[in-house]
Amino acid sequence: MISPPMPTHLLPTRAISSLSNGSAATASPSSPSMAARPRRFPTGLQSVAGRGKFSVAAITLDDYLPMRSTEVKNRTSTGDITSLRLITAVKTPYLPDGRFDLEAYDSLINMQIEGGAEGVIVGGTTGEGHLMSWDEHIMLIGHTVNCFGTRIKVIGNTGSNSTREAVHATEQGFAVGMHAALHINPYYGKTSIDGMVSHFEAVLPMGPTIIYNVPSRTAQDIPPEVIMAISDYPNMAGVKECVGHERIKHYTDKGIAIWSGNDDECHDSRWQHGATGVISVASNLVPGLMHSLMYEGENATLNEKLLPLMKWLFCQPNPIALNTALAQLGVARPVFRLPYVPLPLEKRIEFVRIVGAIGRENFVGQNEVRILDDDDFVLISRY
């Protein structure tokens, strides 16, 4: 979806001036955290606002309104983000009509906090941000901040394959108080190496940022040269890396904070390859055990105990299995926004066995795990 342009009455004064007289806006950063290097472009190219007399973009990188506002709340430092060991990519539950089930969502966030999660990704792939309107997306970020922002770090997934959308959503996310942003590289309409660098440089001045590399979804790797090109930005918190141990070790040797994006690799990434922690799907279900895995030293026994669950969670594309599991545990209603549908019956039966092996007491919720029938699930195509 394409966000409408920002009304001129919301633009910084210098930007409006440049629109009226055709000159480029020039400004210096308003604080050290705003410091940004000049925009990088391949040789012979420059930023173009459009055809005609505007040869340079009317709004420069240091003119983002929310970062200049005195009303920005819950500001946090990049260091506050890089210290987080367990971040949950949290599920978004739904009501039978497809709207957000905020009561179930709040309960799930509380269970994350009680289980030891230190941060949540709101509206990520697991949270089905791609099935939300931007209004829903920003509302859920703001709701999470307002209800839980003093107890857990709120990281909003405001990335997009459109730089314009990423910039606009990130401005809004920080305006409603999120502590950090998660940004993916442009997918489907892929870009060049220089294009990736420029895309990330467009959002980095706004606040603490985690870059997300998941080539299995984007069909394009973020190579180390891109990460190194942006690594000295003050707001560059680190990378959620899904490529594997060798890549993680390459970055941690250079002092870059890395979170494993793979639950089944996170133990070894943390204790053998220097990862800061994990951005986890499994912690939706067993936050306490995932906290132990990240904090209590090498524990091959616990890791082996959790591997069947981790493998099961990715037997089909995430978040299909997680949605099914939370419904079976009675933590979320069995409501799916299409195109997601529940796991088949044999996988639901397998989940009950996995819960028994790990121990029901280690999972979220108070209800007994159930094997749901096909007719128990509600599939929503319009919401």
Per-residue DSSP letters for 97-118?
TSSB-HHHHHHHHHHHHHHT--
φ, ψ for residue 225 (rounded to 5)?
A: -65, -30
Residue 322 token pair: 């997680």
The number of residues in the chain equals 383
Is-catalytic flag, 240?
yes
By three-state DSSP, how is residue 42 classified?
Answer: coil
Assign 3-class secondary structure to 296-325.
CCCCHHHHHHHHHHHHHHCCCCCCHHHHHH
Is-catalytic flag, 105?
no
Distance CA 329, CA 368 (A): 6
Catalytic residue among 91, 94, 233, 240: 240
Side-chain half-sphere of 310: how many Cα atoms within 13 Å?
A: 18
Torsion of CA 166, 171, 175, 181, to 10 degrees: 50
Residue 18 token pair: 């440049």
CA proximity to 352, closest of 333, 371, 327: 371
Catalytic residue among 105, 212, 233, 251: 212
φ, ψ for residue 256 (rounded to 5)?
A: -95, 130
Residue pair 315/321 in contact (Cβ under 8 Å)? The answer is yes
Query: Residues with Cβ < 8 Å from 67, sequence gap 6 or more?
Result: 30, 33, 34, 174, 205, 206, 207
- Catalytic site residues? 212, 240
